[in-house]
């Protein structure tokens, strides 16, 4: 089959590879209908995740049709139209039973990496480096889906492929940020990043009752989507000083909940950017936490900050004093999508969450290297590129 | 060959706790008890009697006299803390580094066995990865390090 392969920093190619096989009784094989770019892939592309290996197949946000099931699969059958959570859940460990599914104990065959880096390992994820298990990704014609009963979700009638595919990753990630960030009716919520994840976090905050939701970015096409499709307010950080602006917008209090959806390659203005740009390549810090720092400084006293952006290692100039003295709650996670996806599919079906506008570009898989180039540079208003492996 | 024998140790601690272990402590030629390895543990979301129904669970049991095993109730009803330690102590020195690379370090065998025992009990099988589709793998020094890391990862980590 054909697949999009990582060959090195900023180097992708479409190659002929073997078809996947059923290896465990709970596996299914899915024929991929739609598979999309995610901001997380940019961290891999840019070489910020050291356990990538040339030849690894990218992609973790996808939907398709089940074409084969292992003998242990109960809920699904051949022909089911399904969307997969980007993380895999065994359904039987303590973490899965608590709904903390991206922390699954049994889905990552390479726990040594996470334990060495962080003291404990995450669960398995499709196409996301050896650290999350070394599984082949979804930018391919077929994918093996381990623990298919838990990882794959049937797509209800009336939800299109273009809508459903984002319920794999962007929608549950955003929802988790608002939910576990503790958004309550009447809250003011600020979201950093107007990519797929930030937009979905903003929409989730609105649906959870936030009275004001403000999304921060600098890309005009994305800020326009936030206003027109999501229905939230926007701030352009290339035009405004974010901290005083947010104070003014919130009567001097600061947002109740700050959700960071930017990640380790955050861009910034001013002297801190130069500082981070110098330190990161010298390996004195591994990640650039610009938006996290700002979210912590902006949050109201006793408020909360949820870090959705992916970070891999250590950061510098982290405002721990602000967390301590303002009594903030800081939370984070890789997405625990399994607890939300059925509910989110229903909300998409009812039109409460719109997702299809995120796929600003659709291409056959053959053009995926070009698609990633556009996505990386945000060319032509690109928010996410959807690939059609079937052509 | 050392005899294998079962024993109940730590009887009388928390009610409901079953602690089974291979009880033979190796003796140095002078008869002094050698220092054993440290306990490595996984927590399994099942009660102790289920975890230990057929004795020490596989593939831990296959490590035989290499290890002592204990199973205790985790606090708060969180299942079973299944632990194993090397009877002959932790490998040290330059040789230990080489055996880690070659995959013959006994600690790797213990970690792998603990993780696999947990998977077998919780989900009924051990998750497999290969063969899997993959593109062209370049031979680079860094790639070789990642490959080695991936190959040993199931037996490494802080467990
Ligand atoms: N927690 C999870 O499970 C999970 C899941 C999916 C994605 N992610 C992460 O979420 C982050 C966002 O993902 P995405 O797909 O939306 O990415 P994206 O690259 O499409 O969007 C990131 C946005 O952040 C903006 N940005 C950059 N610097 C900023 C700053 N200083 N302040 C405000 N905005 C800034 C960019 O202009 C861009 O629009 C990434 O780090 C990704 O890895 C996490
Ligand atoms: Zn993602
Ligand atoms: Zn699990």
Q: What is the pLDDT of residues A324-380, one digit of tens each?
A: 999 999 999 999 999 999 999 999 999 999 999 999 999 999 999 999 999 999 999
Q: Please compute the mean of the pLDDT values over residues A32-54 and round it to a whole number.
A: 95
Are A159 and A81 in contact by the 8 Å Cβ rule? The answer is: no
Q: Which ranges constitute the DSSP H helices of chain A?
A: 39-45, 94-97, 111-118, 148-151, 161-164, 170-180, 196-207, 220-225, 242-249, 271-279, 290-298, 320-325, 341-349, 368-377
B26-55 pLDDT, tens per residue? Answer: 555 555 455 888 999 999 999 999 999 999
A195-204 pLDDT, tens per residue? Answer: 999 999 999 9
Q: What is the pLDDT of residue A303?
A: 98
Check pocket membership of A191 for ligand 1, CB cut-off 6 A.
Answer: no
Rounded distance between C-alpha atoms, residue A374 and residue A377, angstroms: 5
Residues A17 and A53 in one domain: yes
Whose atoms come closest to the Cα of A93: which ligand?
3
The verdict on B151 touching A (C-beta cutoff 8 Å) is no
| Protein residue with least CA distance to atom 36, ligand 1 | A193
> In terms of CA atoms, which chain B residue is nearest residue A142?
B133
- Burial of A13 by CB count in 10 Å (0-12 exposed, 13-18 middle, 19+ buried)? middle
Q: What is the pLDDT of residue B23?
A: 41
List Cα–Cα distances, A73 to A26, A76, A88, A222, A230, in angstroms. Answer: 5, 6, 14, 40, 37
Q: Helices A111-118 and B141-152, interaxial angle, to 10°?
A: 100
Residues A349 and A323 in one domain: no
Confidence of residue B12 (pLDDT cuts 50, 70, 90): very low
Tell me which residue in B118, B123, B154 faces A109 most closely, judged by beta carbons: B154
- Inspect the interface and report whether the beta carbons of A115 and B156 lie closer than 8 Å: yes
Q: What is the CATH number of the domain that holds A180?
A: 3.40.50.720
Rounded distance between C-alpha atoms, residue A357 and residue A351, angstroms: 13
Confidence of residue B3 (pLDDT cuts 50, 70, 90): very low
Confidence of residue A139 (pLDDT cuts 50, 70, 90): very high
Beta-bridge partner residues of A9: none
Q: Considering only CA atoms, which of B2, B47, B46 is closest in space to residue B25?
A: B2
B131-159 pLDDT, tens per residue? Answer: 999 999 999 999 999 999 999 999 999 89
Residues A267 and A137 in one domain: no
**Which of A300, A315, A332 is at the close of a domain?**
A332
Question: Testing the interface with B: which of A110, A125, A142, A145 to mutate, by most B Cβ within 10 A?
Answer: A110
Q: What is the CA radius of gyration of chain A?
A: 20
Proportion of chain A above pLDDT 90, given as a percent: 91
Number of domains in chain A: 2
Rounded distance between C-alpha atoms, residue A233 and residue A214, angstroms: 5
A147-175 pLDDT, tens per residue? Answer: 999 999 999 999 999 999 999 999 999 99
3-state secondary structure of A153: strand
A68-100 pLDDT, tens per residue? Answer: 999 999 999 999 999 999 999 999 999 999 999
A223-252 pLDDT, tens per residue? Answer: 999 999 999 999 999 999 999 999 999 999
Residues A192 and A314 in one domain: yes
Q: What is the CA radius of gyration of chain B?
A: 18
For the CA of A263, the nearest atom of ligand 1? 41
Domain positions in chain B are 2-155
Q: Rounded to a whole number, what is the distance in Å from the CA of A265 to chain B's nearest CA?
A: 23
Q: Among A13-22, A124-133, A262-271, whose mean pLDDT is lowest? A: A262-271
Residues A74 and A164 in one domain: yes
Rounded distance between C-alpha atoms, residue A218 and residue B147, angstroms: 39
Are A30 and A65 in contact by the 8 Å Cβ rule? The answer is: yes
Could you tell me whether strands A257-260 and A233-236 are parallel, antiparallel, or unpaired per DSSP bridges?
unpaired
A 92-121: CB under 8 A from B: 92-94, 97, 105-107, 109-116, 119, 121
Residues A226 and A146 in one domain: no
- Look up the pTM and report it: 0.93
- Which structural domain, as residue segments, surrounds residue A197? 170-332
Check pocket membership of A335 for ligand 1, CB cut-off 6 A.
Answer: yes
Q: Which ranges constitute the DSSP H helices of chain B?
A: 48-51, 93-102, 106-123, 141-152
Contacts of B152 in chain A (CB under 8 A): 112
Residues A185 and A59 in one domain: no
Q: Please compute the mean of the pLDDT values over residues A209-217 and round it to a whole number.
A: 98
> In terms of CA atoms, which chain A residue is nearest residue B144?
A53
- Inspect the interface and report whether the beta carbons of B136 and A54 lie closer than 8 Å: yes
Q: What is the pLDDT of residue B35?
A: 82
Residues A176 and A165 in one domain: no
For the CA of A40, the nearest atom of ligand 1? 43
**Which of A332, A355, A374 is at the close of a domain?**
A332
Q: Rounded to a whole number, what is the distance in Å from the CA of B103 to chain A's nearest CA?
A: 13
Residues A6 and A140 in one domain: yes
Tell me which residue in A5, A91, A119 faces B135 most closely, judged by beta carbons: A5
Q: Rounded to a whole number, what is the distance in Å from the CA of B145 to chain A's nearest CA?
A: 9
Query: For residue B85, is the peptide bond before it cis, meaning its omega torsion is within 30 degrees of 0?
Result: no
B67-125 pLDDT, tens per residue? Answer: 999 999 999 999 999 999 999 999 988 888 899 988 999 999 999 999 999 999 999 99
Residues A56 and A157 in one domain: yes
Confidence of residue B15 (pLDDT cuts 50, 70, 90): very low
Residues A323 and A251 in one domain: yes
Q: What is the pLDDT of residue A380?
A: 97
- Inspect the interface and report whether the beta carbons of B135 and A3 lie closer than 8 Å: yes
Q: Please compute the mean of the pLDDT values over residues A115-121 and round it to a whole number.
A: 95
Residues A287 and A301 in one domain: yes
Give the dihedral sign, CA A44/A47/A49/A55: positive
Q: Rounded to a whole number, what is the distance in Å from the CA of B116 to chain A's nearest CA?
A: 9
Query: Residue A187 pLDDT more than 80?
Result: yes
Confidence of residue B2 (pLDDT cuts 50, 70, 90): very low
Q: What is the CATH number of the domain that holds A9?
A: 3.90.180.10
| Protein residue with least CA distance to atom 23, ligand 1 | A193
Q: How far apart are the first and last CA of chain B?
A: 29
**Which of A286, A308, A332 is at the close of a domain?**
A332
Q: What is the pLDDT of residue B73?
A: 98
Query: Residue B6 pLDDT more than 80?
Result: no
For chain A, the average pLDDT equals 95
Rounded distance between C-alpha atoms, residue A83 and residue A66, angstroms: 10
Q: Considering only CA atoms, which of A116, A118, A94 is closest in space to residue A104?
A: A94
- Residue B83's CB is within 10 A of a number of other CB atoms, namely 22
């Amino acid at each position: 089959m054909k697949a999009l392969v990582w060959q090195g920093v900023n180097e992708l190619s479409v190659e002929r590879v073997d078809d996947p096989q059923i290896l465990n009784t709970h596996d299914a094989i899915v024929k991929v209908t739609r598979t999309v770019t995610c901001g997380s892939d940019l961290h891999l592309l840019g070489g910020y995740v050291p356990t990538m290996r040339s030849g690894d197949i990218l992609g973790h946000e996808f939907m398709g049709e089940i074409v084969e099931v292992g003998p242990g699969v109960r809920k699904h059958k051949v022909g089911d139209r399904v969307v997969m959570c980007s993380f895999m859940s065994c359904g039987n460990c303590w973490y899965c039973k608590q709904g903390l599914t991206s922390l699954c104990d049994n889905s990552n065959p390479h726990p040594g990496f996470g334990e060495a880096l962080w003291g404990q390992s995450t669960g398995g994820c499709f196409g996301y480096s050896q650290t999350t298990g070394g599984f082949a990704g979804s930018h391919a014609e077929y994918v093996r889906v381990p623990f298919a009963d838990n990882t794959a979700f049937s797509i209800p009638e009336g939800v299109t492929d273009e809508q459903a595919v984002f319920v794999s990753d962007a929608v549950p990630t955003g929802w988790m940020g608002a939910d576990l960030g503790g958004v309550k009716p009447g809250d003011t919520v600020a979201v950093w990043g107007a990519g797929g994840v930030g937009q979905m976090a903003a929409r989730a905050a609105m649906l959870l009752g936030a009275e004001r939701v403000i999304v921060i970015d600098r890309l005009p096409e994305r800020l326009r989507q936030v206003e027109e499709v999501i229905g939230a307010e926007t701030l352009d950080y290339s035009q405004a000083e974010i901290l005083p602006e947010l104070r003014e917008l919130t009567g001097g209090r600061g947002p109740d909940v700050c959700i960071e959806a930017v990640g380790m390659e955050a861009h910034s203005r001013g002297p801190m950017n130069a500082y981070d740009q110098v330190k990161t390549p010298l390996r004195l810090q591994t990640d650039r936490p610009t938006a996290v720092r700002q979210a912590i400084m902006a949050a109201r006293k006793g408020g909360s900050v949820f870090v959705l952006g992916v970070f891999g290692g250590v950061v510098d100039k982290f405002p721990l004093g602000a967390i301590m003295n303002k009594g903030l709650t800081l939370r984070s996670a890789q997405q625990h999508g399994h607890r939300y996806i059925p509910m989110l599919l229903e909300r998409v079906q009812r039109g409460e969450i719109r997702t299809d506008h995120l796929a600003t570009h659709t291409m056959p898989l053959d053009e995926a290297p070009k698609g990633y180039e556009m996505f990386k540079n945000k060319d032509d208003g690109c928010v996410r590129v959807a690939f059609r492996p079937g052509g | 060959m050392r005899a294998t024998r079962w024993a109940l140790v730590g009887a009388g601690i928390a009610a409901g706790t079953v602690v089974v272990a291979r009880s033979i402590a190796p003796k140095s030629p002078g008869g002094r008890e050698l220092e054993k390895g440290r306990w490595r543990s996984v927590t399994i979301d099942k009660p102790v009697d289920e975890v230990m129904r057929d004795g020490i669970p596989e593939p831990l049991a296959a490590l035989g006299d290499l290890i002592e095993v204990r199973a205790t109730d985790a606090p708060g009803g969180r299942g079973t803390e299944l632990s194993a330690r090397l009877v002959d102590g932790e490998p040290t020195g330059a040789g230990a580094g080489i055996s880690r690379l070659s995959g013959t370090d006994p600690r790797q065998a213990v970690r792998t066995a603990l993780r696999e025992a947990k998977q077998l009990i919780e989900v009924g099988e051990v998750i497999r990865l290969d063969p899997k589709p993959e593109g062209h793998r370049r031979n680079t020094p860094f790639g070789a390090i990642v490959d080695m890391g991936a190959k040993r990862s199931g037996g490494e980590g802080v467990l």
